[in-house]
Structure 1
Amino acid sequence: MAERNFYDDVYDVVRQIPPGRATSYGAIAAYLGSKQSSRVVGYAMMACGNAQPPVPAHRVVNRQGLLTGKFHFGGNTMEQLLASEGIAVKDNQIQNFKDVFWDPAIELAL
């Protein structure tokens, strides 16, 4: 069996974010017990392009709801994916971020 790494753990969390919801790099890092690793969560999102099953990386933004990973998708793809799920984006920022925020510490609590 292949050894699991932090990226795999991040992908497992991100795959559980339902359509129409979004979370932050920091919320994922905190949930995984590595609060200072939000940047590493971002690196994982950059590297998830070929992950199987697919990772809905467009649902992960910064703590203010800014689409900081947008340029990795090319053009307005990230915004279009969020909009197709009913998430309003204006000036590269999720408008109702508090309403659509998905906190893995709450949503994935046992």
Structure 2
Amino acid sequence: MAKTASATAPGTSPYFAARPRSAAHKRLYADAVVPATIDDDVETMRDYPESNEARAAYVSPVTQRPVTKFQFRVYDACRQVPAGHYSTYKAIAEHLGSGPRAVGNALGRNPFCPQPIPCHRILPADCYIGGFSGDTKSKIFFKKAKLEKEGLAFDDAGFLAGSMQQSRFFGDFQ
């Protein structure tokens, strides 16, 4: 069953505070290639099935498979993160009683991107920009552009600005 308590913000959680910034992340970001054109569309709205019947009948155009109940639970949590804020795979996983990797896998198959399921607003626990659609060579900049358009800022290594890690964290899932 889903937890009702709010997720812990990065600055107050031992997990976040003790987690060092990965040298591998810094290398990935430094080696990433900025694409000639960046798709920073954060306004396109996709139809999202609300009823249990519509969800049971929905087949993802991304995978050509039905979207699972778990995936809908992840998407329902993700859609609560407001523009200009972020959450983490771990925070959603804690809310759902799941694991961060399962949340990432569900978001990697998100057929409702960018709206109403803004998966670009979900970051790893260390607040690194991370990949987007599994691509860390160029699509990392798509995710970054979307978040910057919403008011978030990142340092030169691809991590969310320290001043925003507390104030822009969303973990109050319903």
TM-score (norm 1): 0.82
2:121 aligned residue: 59
TM-score (norm 2): 0.54
1:19 aligned residue: 83
1:43 aligned residue: 105
More strand by share: 1
Unaligned runs of 5+ in 2: 1-52, 58-67
Cα offset, 1:54, TM superposition = 3.5
Cα offset, 1:51, TM superposition = 2.5
Change (3 A) 1:75 1:25: closer
Conservation of the 8 A alpha-carbon contact between 1:23 and 1:59: yes
Which of 159, 169, 172 is 1:93 aligned to?
159
The CA distance in 2 between the partners of 1:78 and 1:51, in whole Å, is: 15
Q: Does 1:69 align with 2:131?
A: yes
Cα offset, 1:108, TM superposition = 3.0
Conservation of the 8 A alpha-carbon contact between 2:84 and 2:150: yes
More helix by share: 1
Change (3 A) 1:33 1:75: closer
Structure 1 outlier segments of 4+, above 3 Å: none
Cα offset, 1:22, TM superposition = 0.2
Partner SS for 1:99: coil
Structure with greater Cα Rg: 2
Conservation of the 8 A alpha-carbon contact between 2:127 and 2:159: yes
Unaligned runs of 5+ in 1: none
The CA distance in 2 between the partners of 1:75 and 1:29, in whole Å, is: 22
**Cα RMSD between the aligned structures?**
2.1
Cα offset, 1:89, TM superposition = 1.1
